[in-house]
Amino acid sequence: MPIQSAYEILEKSLIYLDGKPVGTAAACDELAVAANYHECFVRDFVPSALVFLMSDRSDIVRNFLQVVMQLSGQQHVMKGHKRSKALMPASFHVVEEDGKERVVGDFGDRAIGRVTPVDSAMWWMILLRAYVVTTNDWEFIETKEVQRCITNILELYTAERFESSPTLLVPDAAFMIDRRMAVYGFPLEIQTLYFGMLRTAKELLIKTPANQEVIDNLGVLADTLRDHIRSYYWLDRKRLNEMHRYHSEEFGFDVANVLNVYPESIPDWIYNWLDSRCGYMVGNVGPGRIDFRFFAQGNLLSILFGITTPTGAQSIMNLYLRHWDVLIGEMPLKLVYPALTGEKWRFSTGSDPKNVSWSYHNGGNWPVLIWMFVAAAVRTGRVELAEEALKKMGDRIKEDNWPEYYDGENGGLIGRRANFFQVWSVAGLIVAHEIMENPVSRELFDKITFGETLKH
């Protein structure tokens, strides 16, 4: 396992502000890196943070949390609009002006396609919990600034809008898949992060009389959201059979086909894909719409955050086993299955040449996902699957110079436009390796991912 080399790259990727490490660059290839990959992306920093927490360097995580918190709400505001104080940037970098260093955030206003980073504040909150689980530094959590920031985030994310379900409604490309990919509406990954964030906020808000109502309500919201995801997103043979025989155009309160999904919209590939031991969470649901695609990150997070039932979690791991050659492939892990092709690709991506079938977000394989897979496999007692996947990756990734993603149905080719020395590929492997090899890290990771409720 090329762990030594991984640590060296991670070290090289550190970004400093006034001499203090505050984040890691998205990639650190000396030759060529995409325009903004020198920046620290909030979501990319998550596995880096886990490595730092596991190796007694929690000060870096605290610096990061502080920098991002200070950037929140600094986005460009459109004429006639009010500033939301809680929006957190997709990425940031340090600039020097008149001999002074300053941090500049990108809230999607420079990002390709002007996409909104809805996931940033949710990851920030989850990392905040991870930080206090590791350090017990409640003093930091209880500062006015941090408490204010949590409250601001809750105001933005739980504001009443046009709710017809407890899930969070977002535009296309609001998370890790940050290009148009028909992931607007209620994508699974956002819902799992949302659940994680609600649970976290409930634990981190100080229990003052003024906060009590908010805290109680957070518990109710989280439970309702979990129950909703369990019943609307879960798919197994039994449920598929129900859908296959759905009646449509049902009006009123007591109906089976609540979203009016037409059985004709069930794609052919799904019939052979599931056997009686497999199941998973579908990618998205909405009026008249089920996106049957399998999104790895949402499914793995729903195991780690306790959204799936224990039986559900086993069924997802069974699915991995059944479709090992595609979902793990030559390089773990498939981001989305299946790829959009032909007309569907044209309409759903706007003919995006970067997201052609079986490439990048459209069915590419992403090494970063290894940490979540290994963690989910260990959590469900399927250690042999974790070992197999990790071995696949470790044998090859260093030789390939740590690409960002791989192409092909089985993920055998280095991604056509992939960056090299991609830092979350590096950090993802270290976290996975730590979980497998180091019982202390494994225990810590368990706590970080809600293995036990925080007591304070």
Q: Which is nearer to ligand GLC, 45 or 194 (CB)?
A: 45
CA distance 50 to 52: 5
> Pattern of binders to ligand GLC over 15-44, x per CB under 6 A?
-----------x--------------x-xx
Minimum distance from residue 423 beta carbon to ligand GLC (Å)? 8
Q: How far apart are the first and last CA of the chain?
A: 38
CA distance 352 to 444: 41
Map residue 78 onto helix, strand or coil: coil
β-pair type (100-106, 20-24): unpaired
Minimum distance from residue 35 beta carbon to ligand GLC (Å)? 10
Q: Look up residue 26 and give its amino acid.
A: A
Cβ-contact 236, 316 below 8 angstroms: no
Minimum distance from residue 52 beta carbon to ligand GLC (Å)? 18
Q: Which of residues 82-121 bind ligand GLC (CB under 6 A)?
A: none
Q: Which is nearer to ligand GLC, 299 or 380 (CB)?
A: 299
Q: Which of residues 222-241 bind ligand GLC (CB under 6 A)?
A: none
CA distance 54 to 438: 10
Q: Which is nearer to ligand GLC, 37 or 234 (CB)?
A: 37
Minimum distance from residue 8 beta carbon to ligand GLC (Å)? 19
Q: Which is nearer to ligand GLC, 315 or 348 (CB)?
A: 348
Q: Which is nearer to ligand GLC, 329 or 367 (CB)?
A: 367
CA distance 225 to 217: 12
Other Cβ atoms within 10 Å of 381 Cβ, number? 12
Minimum distance from residue 324 beta carbon to ligand GLC (Å)? 25
DSSP string, 361-403: TBB-B-GGGHHHHHHHHHHTT-HHHHHHHHHHHHHHTTTTT--
Minimum distance from residue 115 beta carbon to ligand GLC (Å)? 9
Map residue 142 onto helix, strand or coil: coil
Q: Which of residues 161-180 bind ligand GLC (CB under 6 A)?
A: 176, 178
Q: Which is nearer to ligand GLC, 67 or 205 (CB)?
A: 67
Q: Which of 133, 151, 148, 234 is nearest to 191 (CA)?
A: 234
Q: Which is nearer to ligand GLC, 178 or 291 (CB)?
A: 178
Minimum distance from residue 311 beta carbon to ligand GLC (Å)? 31
Q: Which of residues 297-356 bind ligand GLC (CB under 6 A)?
A: none
Q: Which is nearer to ligand GLC, 29 or 203 (CB)?
A: 29
Q: Which of residues 43-62 bind ligand GLC (CB under 6 A)?
A: 43-44
Q: Which of 274, 262, 291 is nearest to 237 (CA)?
A: 274
Task: Kindly determine how many residues on this chain lie close enough to bind ligand GLC according to the rule CB under 6 A.
Answer: 6
Minimum distance from residue 13 beta carbon to ligand GLC (Å)? 11
Q: Which of 105, 124, 125 is nearest to 44 (CA)?
A: 124
Cβ-contact 398, 420 below 8 angstroms: no
Q: Which of residues 285-304 bind ligand GLC (CB under 6 A)?
A: none
Q: Which residues bind ligand GLC (CB under 6 A)?
A: 26, 41, 43-44, 176, 178
